[in-house]
Structure 1
């Protein structure tokens, strides 16, 4: 089914036209050997290898053996390139998974899949969010998540809020883990060594009379353990799904 077009609708941004293949050809004529997909793939490879800060139009052009101005025939600005890179990094969505009574398993599968995508391309969480998802892959991920909630009795607004809650949690956890790993690598120490030192430093500066709860945690040895990141992710995700399940149950009872 073709999407409906209203003459009063705002025009599509050029980057969205490019993402959906709505440009017949590159402006001013394409350069032989260059494609939009190839440009995006080269930019993603640079970000994967060296981080987001290494990505520039000139650097990507160099990787492709082209002049910088040739890229502007396909991508209007670096910001547009970043949008296309994020869409490519997410890739194909995981599929809707469970629906109805299996909605929880479906959303868990969706969340783990998004986390895996962000772990493959950790720079994605450092790209500023300029608006709601509108590129092909990001809309596909949203569609799959919403379909997991079919049959739950939640309203459309509640379903969208659930997806915002989950993706916010996954993105924040991915960013936190990336920053922790970067800090550990920069210090040249293992995470268990870093946490053990942190525990000792906290004990030195935090007065037990003012921070009794924190000292109880220190005494239990919690800060000296290098917990499995998967365990932390499971804990947070389960608490979110517990809350969503309470809402679904209340809708069924009401």
Structure 2
């Protein structure tokens, strides 16, 4: 609070006239950075397409505001803009036969994937490719110790044939959605 007050050119106590504490200040920062869920681009699309779009937009938000990854963990104050994102994900699954709890869990699973991939990208820098960097690091180890790890060596060789293309985002997203599709199919029988 002291640093924020100093950057704003006010005293710490003056800042407390606007926000009661750090948790509320962070919530306001998240609200401003994330903003409300944007208007739906494609009307009448299925749940899968809606969640693909939703996850991609959330990924873009976290890439633009990487500090929000740390600010949006655990129990905390959430404002209407942030809640609109959760509402959009849960409502995309309306009519699928999933319970409310399952729809919330699906949203949490997707958020986890988005967060994980964004954190990987953040760790490798703006131009980094996590899979290519991991492959390069492990490649040296496999040259020296590959006989002890034959499955890993074969997997890395296969990954190298993709020229280091980062596929973790799309692979993970599609597997999550495939799992939801299988669950939905069981519910509508």
| Structure 2, unpaired ranges of 5+ | none
| Structure 1, unpaired ranges of 5+ | 1-56, 185-189
Q: Are 1:108 and 2:44 matched, yes or no?
A: no
Q: Are 1:169 and 2:169 matched, yes or no?
A: no
Counterpart contact for 2:23–2:76, Cα < 8 Å: no
C-alpha spacing 1:96/1:143, structure 2 compared with 1 (3 Å): farther
Alignment equivalent of 1:240, drawn from 176, 179, 184: 176
Alignment equivalent of 1:137, drawn from 74, 81, 87: 81
Alignment equivalent of 2:165, drawn from 211, 221, 227: 227
Q: Deviations over 1:125-164 (max 9, x none)?
A: 1226231673211211111111111111111111111111
Q: Distance in 2 between matches of 1:78 and 1:133?
A: 11
Q: Distance in 2 between matches of 1:140 and 1:128?
A: 14
Q: Distance in 2 between matches of 1:152 and 1:224?
A: 36
Higher relative helix content: 2
The alpha-carbon deviation at position 221 of structure 1 amounts to 5.8
Instruction: Give 3-state SS (helix, strand or coil) of 1:206's partner.
Output: helix
Q: Distance in 2 between matches of 1:236 and 1:104?
A: 14
Counterpart contact for 1:153–1:248, Cα < 8 Å: yes
Q: Are 1:154 and 2:92 matched, yes or no?
A: no
Alignment equivalent of 2:151, drawn from 213, 220, 234: 213
Q: Distance in 2 between matches of 1:109 and 1:221?
A: 27
Instruction: Give 3-state SS (helix, strand or coil) of 2:20's partner.
Output: coil
- TM-score, normalised by the number of residues in structure 2: 0.84
Instruction: Give 3-state SS (helix, strand or coil) of 2:113's partner.
Output: helix
**Which of the two has higher C-alpha Rg?**
1
C-alpha spacing 1:68/1:137, structure 2 compared with 1 (3 Å): same
Q: Identify which of structures 1 and 2 has the higher relative contact order when contacts are C-alpha pairs closer than 8 Å and 6+ apart.
A: 2
Q: Are 1:121 and 2:65 matched, yes or no?
A: yes
Q: Deviations over 1:208-237 (max 9, x none)?
A: 1x2111122344462994324xx4311110
